[in-house]
């Protein structure tokens, strides 16, 4: 087993089947970690009844320009909480930037427990909530 994990590969939230024999594709290592983080950041909090702690509360925000500064702090804290819960990430290595545009995105960097550097990974975390 890989130190950073092994999992079924997801494409747009669905299981990837690209092999001719019907087996699902898998991801491992850094690809598994990045898939897990991306999925967690793009999943609304409490949307999975079997895992009520899964996901994030960013989707509940209705962002307006007047509140950008406060909402940036909230989003940054939410992302930090998600990344800090993952034991594969060194907690003191996390750096996060929030980007407002047509959607809310976060750009973050961190170091894994086996010293792989992930630099400036950009993940959209919400769509259609900008007011």
CATH number of the domain where residue 39 is located: 3.10.450.40
- Structural domain of residue 114, as residue ranges? 6-127
Q: Is residue 43 part of a domain?
A: yes
Q: Is residue 1 part of a domain?
A: no
Per-residue pLDDT tens listing for the chain (131 residues): 577 877 777 766 665 666 666 677 778 889 889 988 988 888 777 777 787 777 777 777 776 777 788 888 989 998 999 999 999 999 999 999 998 877 888 999 999 999 999 999 998 886 544 44
What is 112-131 written as a DSSP string?
A: BTT--EEEEEEEEEEES-B-
Q: Is residue 28 part of a domain?
A: yes
pLDDT digit string, tens, across residues 26-55: 788 898 899 889 888 887 777 777 877 777
Domain count, the chain: 1
Q: Which DSSP category does 93 fall into? A: G
- Partner residues linked to 110 by β-bridges: 118
Q: Is residue 57 part of a domain?
A: yes
Write out the two tokens for 53. Answer: 């702690």
């Amino acid at each position: 087993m890989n130190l950073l994990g092994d999992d079924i590969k997801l494409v747009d939230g669905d299981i990837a089947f690209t092999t001719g024999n019907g087996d699902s594709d898998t991801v491992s290592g850094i690809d598994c970690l990045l898939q897990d983080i991306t999925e967690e950041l793009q999943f609304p909090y409490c949307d999975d009844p079997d895992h009520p702690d899964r996901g994030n509360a960013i989707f509940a925000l209705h962002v307006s320009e007047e509140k950008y500064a406060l909402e940036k702090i909230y989003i940054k804290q939410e992302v930090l909480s998600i990344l800090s819960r993952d034991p594969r990430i060194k907690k003191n290595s996390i750096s996060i930037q929030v980007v407002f545009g047509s959607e809310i995105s976060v750009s973050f960097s961190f170091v894994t427990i086996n010293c792989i550097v992930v630099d400036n990974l950009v993940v959209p975390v919400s769509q259609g909530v900008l007011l």
